[in-house]
Amino acid sequence: MSKKAVTEGAAAAEERIYVASQWQLMWWRFRRHRVAMLSAAVVAVFYIVAIAPEFFATTDPQLSEARRSLIPPEPIHWFDNGKFRPHVYAVAGYRDSMTFKMVWESDPNMKIPIRFFAQGFEYKLLGLIPTSRHLIGVGEGLEASDTIFLLGADVQGRDLYSRLMYGTRISMSIGLVGVLLTLIVGIFLGGVSGYYGGSIDNVIQRGIEIIRSIPTIPLWMGLAAAVPRDWSVVQTYFAITIVLSLFGWTGLARVVRGRFLSLREEDFVAAAEIAGASQFRIIFRHMLPSFLSHIIASTTLRVPGMIISETALSFLGLGMRPPAVSWGVLLQAAQNIQTIALSPWLMTPALVVIIIILAFNFLGDGLRDAADPYQ
Amino acid sequence: MIGYIIRRSIVAVATVWAVSVIAFAIIQLPPGDYVTAYIAQLQASGSSVSMEEAESLRQQYGLDKPIYVQYLRWVSQFARGHFGVSMLWNRPVKEVIGNRLGMTVVVTLGAVMLTWLLALPIGIYSAVRHYSLGDYVFTFLGFIGVAIPNFLLALVVMYLGFALFNANVGGLFSSSEMYLAPWSMDKVVDLLKHLWIPAIILGLSGMAQLVRIMRNNLLDELGKPYVVTARAKGLSEFKVILKYPVRVALNPFISTIGYTLPYVVSGSIIVSIVLGLPTVGPLLYQALLAQDMFLAGTIILLVGAMTVIGTLISDILLVWIDPRIRLEGR
Amino acid sequence: MEKESVQVSEGGHVAHHDDKPLLSVRNLKTYYFQDEGTVRAVDGASFDVHMGRTLGIVGESGCGKTVTAKSILRLIEKTGRIVEGTIIYHRGTGGDREAELDLTLLDAKGPEMRSIRGGEIALIFQEPMTSFSPVHSIGSQIMEAIRLHRQIGKQEAYALGVEMLHRVGIPLPEQRMGEYPYQLSGGLRQRAMIAMALSCNPRLLIADEPTTAVDVTTQAQILDLLGTLQKESGMAIVFITHNLGVIAEIADQVVVMYLGRVVEKAPVDDLFHAPKHPYTQALLRSIPSIQSVPREKLPTIIGAIPHPYNRPPGCPFHPRCASFMPGVCDRRAPRLLPVTQTQEVSCFLYHRDTEDDEWVEWTWKL
């Protein structure tokens, strides 16, 4: 390329950067971070499953059948004699007369073909549209509940894969709702603290110090245990969310406060005040946008913490309770070492939790790097 | 500096007070009160109690008084070491807790010390050998530490121990005889042999964070002019790094340690449930499941107080070490 | 022609005037290797430093002055390297030590280089604020410098430190020894920096923009101080700055650098009265003068310093040069050659391009 073209190209690129908005800049920087992009995709997939878990599940998650207790996972085999014909093997079991436990064997000669977008149990997509289409299913005359055990079955014969799909909904959404609450409280208190300063700031700061020194899990356990057993799933859900958010807002509040404090001194704020803008306008139109991107990045990093906390509480039986399904509830089965030694597939929800947490962490890191103008 | 200590102590006291309020609230939350539970117990074993007897019991325990009076009574009893009676075990709470609180301290302290001792050199190494293979390995391990929640890690470790070695890697002692035996050198050694697993599990995510902080701080400092000055004096590379930028990068590092304590204590509760350690965690769990509120509330308050005291001590240590704070009395 | 004159000063350094230089830099090239490209921070610099005299290195930011200083003391960071050139340090006779040493050949972290650093060649910086460690006292830092190069005990080192602080004009030196950097003002900190640098009686002091970060009054005091110390000890000084006014005051010999190259080398008077290189001339023109016509626009050099990854071919200054000769200046780079008895310049206005191909720089093929 001629020298002139190079310099012109460089000049044009610089011009583009110069006039790009803050969000565009952030997006361009984020795009370069390949791991973060991948993680964003992973998170998106998880949320898609969370919105429509019924579609991805093969069996009704509450359908229990003692006959199917502890079936090991039956993976999909994609090729049959070289032809693309996805299928699973049929499973046959008998009860061991000594231990009274079911013993399972898969029969490679009985091939059950898998259909995609097949018919299965009925549900309402998004709670509105009645349908019975599922991503994976079996053909006519066969029941998915008897044949497909992608991740095995638990001790009550419920398909773990389907329950995992359903669990995504609660586990992922509690993260969001909890963080939303934290966001609101954190921004509000942090903003008030930073903007007004003085004794209000002092009081709120002391409060934050106090809350930060308290070990959270014992308190969560106690508060969660206090949620009455007879509350409905929805009520328990909100109660747990509130309990989890009680302590999480302090980090965000401190950051917001710090930003407000330093921004108060900035010239552009003084200029807005001189121009006669109302305090409300100054806060929301001028100060907040300057660190909004940072808030988004920090908030993303809080979600995995919430997910872990809910999973921990439910794992202990103190959080979400059956018949609700969350990853933590699924992991309750793993409390017993003997059980998982014999049926290690019951630990799969742990793997799922780890994946989503890694994804959120990378995503949050990427967002934070992209949002930080002083890189 | 004295001013700082006094201020922190006041905040510490306020925090313990806040925890006591929450603990008391937790005790009160389930429907019914101590007497109701007591009556239920009696009824379960066959005897019954009349309304008048119930009322007089209530008066005896002060359960008819307003809430804040009950709270004050509870706090004053607590301060004197009367923690109430455990419904589950039918024994004074103090007895039930026994030396579990001490064990909790041991586990927590072990995790914190291990974290600190390992995070410091790893962080320094990562910063100095920036982008090297070792750095990448540690960064990777760090991500694992952050990503895997400690109780899941404990689960996996237990499973692996069972599946691979057919051994129970939980617990703090080899056997219950060892646990109950009086303290001796053997007992200490046995404890240490078992302690490192929970210590690592608990400390891993904190360690990952600290390594990151140390690495980033040190990287920031390494580029600063005073490091070049030190080199220009003719100081050896090793001394240049350890004596100057590490010393400066150490300050934010130490102050962060103070705030990892509540996190470690929290984690130890769940991890000790999974690993079956003789600490306060499994006890709290059982108490909550059985709605034994006196036991639960007491444990929560004790654990909270322990954490606050620990944080206070570490804050004082920080102030003592940093000359800038010391001299300016901030 | 030039007599060998030997002068022994109070500090005990033997100065060989006009004879052997203390330090000879020849064709120094220090490059930094980044992902995006190679930065030729110093691209062929040559000059001499003599005892008892001050060499001024002047140029805009980014011209390679600081990297030159760092190269002499082998303080280049990991991403950079001296790729070519020699730095001959004339130690003079002294027992079993070699008389001449090429610093580029030494191990940068090895004991020999480290003993020279601070002990024989000292360096002071621009930012006194951040050049001292904030968490150690001034005294401990000075004493460390002393005890690194001399085998003396703590008490002696302390006394020496106090004496050095006194020598640089810091009042209440004993008190200052125990104080921390943030407790001293900028001017005092810079003096303390000088004290620390001189505490081992170095033969060469490299001062990298030591007055840039202080106010004019303090600047004058520090320049005075350096002059006095030089007379007392006979040490050589390399003074790096972008301020021509300071050069006029303190330098004996001046080296003008642009984009990593020496474009002009001359005694200070010749430089100011008869500058040869267009860059030097433009620099001198751009100094506001009390004698210039009021309300007239200050002449500036057109254009800007090119991006380090985007160097122009041929003479690095040609895109901004008022005397640019197309076909000549953009094809090859000129060499530093004598133009009068005392001045050297690197410019095609004075030297025709020779057919020598070996030093042609293919600067656009990075």
pLDDT category at A375 given cuts 50, 70, 90 is very low
**Residues A162-200: tens digit of each pLDDT:** 889 888 988 888 888 888 888 888 888 887 887 777 788
Would you say residue A333 lies in a domain?
yes
- A215 plus A272 within the same structural domain: yes
Q: How many residues does this entry show for chain C?
A: 366
B132 CB near a chain C CB, below 8 Å?
no
**A285 and A148 in a common domain:** no
Same domain for A196 and A342, yes or no, is: yes
Mean pLDDT of chain A: 79
Shared-domain flag, residues A234 and A341? yes
Q: Is A258 on the interface with B (CB under 8 A)?
A: no
Confidence at C253, pLDDT banded by 50, 70, 90: very high
- DSSP assignment string, B143-200: HHHHHS-HHHHHHHHHHHHHHHH-----SSSSSHHHHHSPP-HHHHHHHHHHHHHHHH
pLDDT for residue A366 is more than 90:
no
**Domain total for chain A?**
2
Q: What are phi and psi of A336, to 5 degrees?
A: -90, 120
User: pLDDT in tens for each of the 330 residues of chain B?
Assistant: 677 788 888 888 888 888 888 888 877 777 666 667 677 767 777 777 677 777 777 776 666 677 777 788 778 877 777 777 777 777 788 888 877 888 888 888 888 888 888 888 888 888 888 777 888 888 888 877 877 888 888 888 888 887 777 777 777 777 777 677 777 787 788 788 888 888 888 888 788 888 888 888 888 888 788 888 888 888 888 888 888 888 777 777 776 766 778 888 888 888 888 888 888 888 888 888 777 777 888 888 888 888 888 888 877 777 776 655 444 433
Interface contact flag, C148 B322, Cβ < 8 Å: no
Residues A186 and A242 in one domain: yes
Supply the range of the domain harboring residue A300: 163-370
pLDDT at C25: 92
Which range among A65-74, A313-322, C167-176 shows the weakest confidence by mean pLDDT? A65-74
Range of lowest pLDDT (A121-135, B162-176, C185-199):
B162-176
Residue with tokens 């006014």: C245
Q: Output b/e per residue, A90-121; b: 16+ Cβ within 10 A.
A: bbebeeeeeeeebebebeeeeebebbeebebb
Asked if the C-beta of A336 comes within 8 angstroms of chain B's C-beta atoms, the answer is no
A339 reaches B (C-beta below 8 A) = no
Based on the fold, state whether residues A137 and A261 are members of the same structural domain: no
- C57 — pLDDT class (breaks 50, 70, 90): very high
* CA A337 – CA B195 distance, rounded (Å): 20
**A–B interface: beta-carbon pairs under 8 A:** 126
Mark which of A122, A157, A192 sits at the end of a domain. A157
Give the per-residue pLDDT at A2.
54
The CA distances from residue C204 to B27, B105, C176, C195, C343, in Å, are: 77, 59, 26, 14, 23
On whether any CB of chain B is under 8 Å from the CB of A334, the answer is yes
Looking at beta carbons, which residues of chain A come within 8 Å of B162?
337, 341
Confidence category of residue C207, pLDDT binned at 50, 70, 90: very high
Q: What pLDDT score does C238 carry? A: 94
Same domain for A113 and A252:
no
* Contact check, Cβ <8 Å, C133/B323: no
> C123: distance to nearest CA of chain B, Å?
6
pLDDT tens across A23-74, in order?
Answer: 777 777 777 778 888 888 999 999 998 888 888 888 888 877 777 778 888 7
* Chain B residue whose CA is closest to A336: B274
**Which residue from B148, B299, B308 is facing A354, i.e. has the nearest CB?**
B148
**What pLDDT score was predicted for residue A182?**
87
To test the contact with chain A by mutation, choose from B20, B259, B266, B291 the residue with the greatest count of A C-beta atoms within 10 A, namely B266
Is the interface score ipTM higher than 0.90? no
Contact B266 A218 (CB under 8 A): yes
- The alpha carbon torsion through C244, C247, C252, C253 (nearest 10 deg) reads -50
Domain C17-115+234-315+344-366 in this protein, CATH class: alpha beta
Q: What is the mean pLDDT of residues A147-160?
A: 81
- What residues does each domain of chain C span? 17-115+234-315+344-366
Looking at residue A118, what DSSP letter applies? E
Q: Which residues of B touch A36 (CB under 8 A)?
A: none
Q: Do A201 and A228 lie in a common domain? A: yes
Nearest Cβ partner for B300 among A218, A317, A361: A218
Task: Supply the CATH number for residue A320's domain.
Answer: 1.10.3720.10
Read off the pLDDT of each residue in C88-110 and give the average, rounded to a whole number. Answer: 77
Whether the per-residue pLDDT at C358 is higher than 50: the answer is no
pLDDT of residue C268: 92
Residue A228 lies in a domain: yes
The whole-number average pLDDT for the span C270-287 is: 87
Mean predicted lDDT score pLDDT of chain C: 82
Q: What is the pLDDT of residue C15?
A: 46
CA-to-CA distance for A117 and A125, rounded, in angstroms?
14
A143 and A173 inside one domain? no
State the nearest Cα–Cα gap between A168 and chain B, in angstroms: 17
List CB contacts (< 8 A) between B296 and chain A: 222, 225
What pLDDT does A6 receive?
56
Contact call for B288 and A353, based on CB within 8 A: no
- What is residue A3's predicted lDDT score, i.e. its pLDDT? 53
Residue A11: pLDDT over 70: no
Question: For residue A304, is it within any domain?
Answer: yes
Q: What is the pLDDT of residue C17?
A: 47
pLDDT at A44: 92
Q: What is the distance between the alpha carbons of residues C169 and C166, in angstroms, rounded to a whole number?
A: 5
Final residue belonging to a domain, choices A109, A134, A157? A157
Across the range A3-11, mean pLDDT stands at 56
Asked if residue A29 is part of any domain, the answer here is no
Mark whether A149 and A167 lie in a shared domain. no
Q: Which residue has the higher pLDDT, C275 or A297?
A: C275
Q: What is the pLDDT of residue A68?
A: 76
Beta strands at C261-267 and C253-258: parallel, antiparallel or unpaired = antiparallel
Mean local confidence (pLDDT), A78-100: 78
Strand order in A129-138's β-sheet?
Answer: A77-80, A83-95, A102-125, A129-138
pLDDT bin (cut points 50, 70, 90) of residue C95 is low
Q: Which residues lie across from C337 on neighbouring strands?
A: C345
Q: Cα–Cα distances in Å, from B136 out to A100, B127, B143, C346?
A: 50, 11, 10, 48
Chain A residues close to B285, C-beta within 8 Å: 221, 316
pLDDT attached to residue C48: 92
Q: Which residue, A157, A188, A204, sits at the end of a domain?
A: A157
Q: Does B294 touch chain C (CB under 8 A)?
A: no
Residue B51 CA to residue B65 CA, distance in Å, equals 18
Residues A176 and A215 in one domain: yes
Asked if A221's CB is within 8 angstroms of B285's CB, the reply is yes
CB atoms within 10 A of CB C220: 14
Are both A146 and A173 inside the same structural domain? Answer: no
Q: Which residues in chain C are contacts of B225 at CB distance < 8 A?
A: 125-127, 130-131
Which residues in chain B (234-273) have CB-CB distances under 8 A to chain C?
234-237, 243-244, 247-248, 251
At how many degrees (to 10) do helices C138-149 and C154-167 cross? 110
